[in-house]
């Protein structure tokens, strides 16, 4: 994403944010898909907001930090709610019900939508504890 400031004008390049979606398919198993959030200029933005591109997820309630000790594994479980998990520290490996695995490193995010079905396995790999920021999502994702 870039912007060029000229008197009264802001120009935007196309901006997206990649994330991994974990969802339950009609087969009852969890699957991964690669997705993107669009980041768009703030409508009517003035001052500092005129330089921002955003994606509004709605009001967030129940946001929390979660820590999983290095080497710990959470066996098969479903997500407690639809939420983004943002990896802050450490490395976490997620195993979907279909056997696929994905690793998240700091700065990466995953949308957990597998609130039913077989669920997934979470394993903190590496030497450092895994810390994530959980942000509940109740509305549509654009």
Task: Look over the chain and give the mean of its residue pLDDT values, rounded to a whole number.
Answer: 88
In a domain, 113, yes or no: yes
Per-residue pLDDT for 4 more than 90? no
Which residue would you say has higher pLDDT here, 60 or 69? 69
In a domain, 82, yes or no: yes
CATH number, position 123: 2.60.120.10
Query: Which residue range(s) make up the domain with 86?
Result: 18-35+56-136
Which residue would you say has higher pLDDT here, 102 or 44? 102
In a domain, 10, yes or no: no
In a domain, 9, yes or no: no
Per-residue pLDDT for 5 more than 60? no
The pLDDT of residue 13 is 56
Q: Token match 């077989």: residue?
A: 118
pTM of the model: 0.84
In a domain, 31, yes or no: yes
As a whole number of angstroms, the distance between CA 113 and CA 120 comes to 11
Domain count, the chain: 1
Length reported for the chain: 142
In a domain, 74, yes or no: yes
Name the 3-class secondary structure at 51. Answer: helix
| Residue 61 in tokens | 């309630």
| Confidence band for 110, pLDDT divided at 50, 70 and 90 | very high
In a domain, 119, yes or no: yes
In a domain, 76, yes or no: yes
Per-residue pLDDT for 123 more than 70? yes
């Amino acid at each position: 994403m870039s912007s060029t400031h000229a008197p009264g004008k802001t120009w935007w390049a196309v901006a997206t944010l990649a994330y991994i979606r974990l969802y339950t398919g009609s087969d009852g198993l969890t699957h991964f898909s690669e997705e993107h959030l669009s980041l768009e200029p703030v409508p009517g933005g003035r001052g500092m907001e005129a330089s921002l591109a955003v994606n509004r997820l709605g009001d967030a309630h129940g946001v929390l930090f979660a820590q999983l000790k290095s080497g710990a594994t959470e066996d098969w479980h479903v997500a407690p709610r639809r939420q983004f998990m943002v990896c802050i520290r450490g490395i976490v490996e997620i195993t979907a019900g279909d056997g696929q695995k994905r690793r998240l490193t700091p700065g990466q995010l995953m949308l957990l939508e597998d609130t039913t079905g077989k669920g997934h396995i979470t394993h903190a790999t590496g030497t450092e504890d895994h810390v994530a920021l959980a942000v509940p999502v109740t509305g549509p994702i654009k």
